[in-house]
Amino acid sequence: MPLHIETPLFESPSLSKSAHRQIWLKLDALQPSGSFKLRGIGAACEAYAQRGKRRFISSSGGNAGIAVAYAGHHLGIPVTVVVPASTTHRAKELIREQGGEVIVHGATWDEANALAMSMIGEDAAFLHPFDDPLLWNGHATLVDEVARAGFKPDAVVLSVGGGGLMSGVVEGLRRNQWADIPVIAVETIGADSLAQSIQAGQRVTLPSITSVATSLGARQVCAQAFALAQSHDVRSVVVPDRAALAACERFLDQHRLLVEPACGASLALAYEDAAELHGFDKVLVVVCGGATASIDDVRKWAASAG
């Protein structure tokens, strides 16, 4: 059996009412590690274990590292995760709870990633948080599950950080003969590397991440995500932090499930009946989850964001 689980798919009455159209949710916040990351990370870890690797090394702002630690625990393989200083205490504790070693290095994920890559030995596998075909193939199972359920949406809304989820979803759409379905890619201001790259016509590296949605905090999207933005119908949307945070609170109130601001960014489109949803009758929102923020964190950030 795979390390990830098949997650619920259903129409949300409250979100459908706010958006004036059917809003369907794919609840990957219910994955054992708390986010969609386990789909791709789990598949990659299993593949590397079969190749004889005896240690997993990763770099992460939180959720990917938690997924690697979960996979390593269940496969009996030790895990080291290098995280930047911006990683929350909660994220570090969740990695340690699964038996993972946590090393804090650098102010940004890029600096943490550089150290992690320098630690790779012959018997170790490096688990990139978003840039690996093994991950994309694993994330594509999300679409496989939707297709098996017999539901075809008119559009898919998802959040973009490094672009791993988007790459996997597009792969899933194509392998299920749904290449005609557009993807609405949502970022927050200050973590909008895909939007800026599309506007510039080339991959842009952000000077820093200024959004509270640190799970979207890749300063540059992977090459695959940028290429897919040119070859697939990808529609980029950027929302302010306050909209993402407000969506987290409303979603918790209505669905009794806490998600991170990175996930709230996508939910914000439905809560605000965004223009980008107009013209679609049935919209699938990927509730990607995130386990690294508490409700106190969300409210503290919301107060700071005004």
Residue 74: give its domain's CATH number.
3.40.50.1100
The whole-number pLDDT of residue 171 equals 98
Does residue 199 share a domain with residue 97?
no
Q: Which domain holds residue 61?
A: 38-129
Q: Is residue 224 part of a domain?
A: yes
Q: Pick from 100, 129, 158: which residue ends a domain?
A: 129
What is the DSSP code string of the chain? --SS-PPPEEE-HHHHHHHTSEEEEEEGGGSTTSBTHHHHHHHHHHHHHHTT--EEEEE-SSHHHHHHHHHHHHHT--EEEEE-TTS-HHHHHHHHHTT-EEEE-SSSHHHHHHHHHHT--TTEEEE-SS--HHHHHHHTHHHHHHHHTT---SEEEEE-SSSHHHHHHHHHHHHTT-TTS-EEEEEETTS-HHHHHHHHTS----S---SS-GGG--SS--HHHHHHHHHS-EEEEEE-HHHHHHHHHHHHHHHS----HHHHHHHHHHHTT-GGGTT-SEEEEEE-B-SS--HHHHHHHHHHH-
This prediction has a pTM of 0.96
Residues 76, 24, single domain; the answer is no
Quick one: average pLDDT of 203-225?
91
| Residues 209 and 147 both lie in one domain | yes
Average pLDDT, the chain: 96
Same domain for 253 and 163, yes or no, is yes
Residues 80 and 104 in one domain: yes
Q: 100 and 187: one domain? A: no
Instruction: Reply yes or no on whether the pLDDT at 8 is more than 80.
Output: yes
- Are 111 and 147 in a shared domain? no
Query: For residue 99, is it within any domain?
Result: yes
What integer is the mean pLDDT of 155-165?
97
Mean pLDDT of 110-120: 93
Structural domain count, the chain: 2
306: pLDDT strictly greater than 80 = no
Q: Name the pLDDT band for 152 (thresholds 50, 70, 90).
A: very high
* Higher per-residue confidence, 212 vs 171: 171
4 belongs to a structural domain: no
pLDDT tens for 251-282 read 999 999 999 999 999 999 999 999 999 999 99
Co-location of 20 and 93 in the same domain: no
pLDDT given at position 108:
82
The share of the chain scoring above pLDDT 70, in percent, equals 100
Residue 171 shares a structural domain with residue 263: yes
Report whether pLDDT(67) > 90. yes
Say what percent of the chain tops pLDDT 90: 91
The pLDDT value recorded for residue 107 is 85
* pLDDT of 138 over the 80 cut: yes
* Residues 203 and 262 grouped into a single domain: yes
Whether residue 70 is found in the same domain as residue 189: no
Check whether residue 77 and residue 208 sit in a common domain.
no
Q: Report pLDDT for 143.
A: 98
